[in-house]
Amino acid sequence: MAPRRKKIYEGKAKVLYEGPEPGTLVQYFKDDATAFNAQKKDVIEGKGVLNNRLSEYFMTGLTNIGVPNHFIKRLNMREQLIRQVEIVPLEVIVRNFAAGSIAKRLGMEEGTPLPRPIVEYSYKNDDLGDPLVPEEYIIAFGWASQQDLDDIVALALRVNDFLTGVFYGVGIKLVDFKIEIGRVWDGDFMRLIVADEISPDSCRLWDVKTGQKLDKDVFRRDLGSLTDAYTEVAKRLGVLPTNTQPIKPTLIN
């Protein structure tokens, strides 16, 4: 039997285990879905498998255009090898169209185009419900420096341009998304890289023609099958073969 690996961290949708070499971790994608700070919960069979594949796809694309990120390689259906980072305690949100919390906060109709991409930050703290925070707080409390924030905005906008194009190519509008950023050190030199995951759990994705939602809002708002929505995204991107039934964990590797 393989030795039990040391669990480093367990979040709502993923588990991190010690990796095979120093500076690496194994990221395991669970089937658990949560919303509204885990007040709503379910297990969606196959979600972890889809998100493992989709995050691999986007992170590999980012690597290929020169955007640094934590992905090293996929290990199996549910696991990928990643670089260990020190997570910046922020959710970095980029919005192209009004939806979700900004639409509510400002009384905007969902789908209204924004005059330019808006980057905003939530402080990663489940007890507080990830509150929206201004740059002023981030710098004052030392979560990131002004230079870090300049680098984070540059990274976030590159990710936005990349994802917008990739999704548009398969008839999907990228309404908004969230990324997380990690610090890595090369000796004394610190760099910021894209970490965590990029998947329909952390994006809003609407079909360009019909407006159909293909992201976690399907779960948040009880709009149908989340697996069907994520499978549709994966099929369009060619991450899954077309003509297959909604994915079951055993069918893919």
Which stretches of the chain bind ligand TMP, using CB under 6 A? Answer: 91, 93, 99-102, 130, 176-178, 202-204
Beta strands in 11-123 (DSSP E): 14-18, 24-29, 32-35, 40-43, 71-74, 79-83, 86-87, 90-97, 113-123
Residue 202 Cβ, how far from ligand TMP at the closest point, in Å?
3
Nearest residue to ligand TMP by CB is: 100
Q: Report, in angstroms and rounded to the nearest whole number, the Rg of the chain calculated over CA atoms.
A: 18
Residue 200 Cβ, how far from ligand TMP at the closest point, in Å?
9
Mapped onto helix, strand or coil, the DSSP state of residue 173 is: strand
Smaller CB separation from ligand TMP, 53 or 204: 204
Smaller CB separation from ligand TMP, 31 or 91: 91
Residue 83 Cβ, how far from ligand TMP at the closest point, in Å?
21
Smaller CB separation from ligand TMP, 20 or 111: 111
Smaller CB separation from ligand TMP, 217 or 232: 217
Residue 249 Cβ, how far from ligand TMP at the closest point, in Å?
23
Q: How far is CA 98 from the centre of its chain?
A: 19
Separation between Cα atoms, residue 148 and residue 157, nearest integer Å: 14
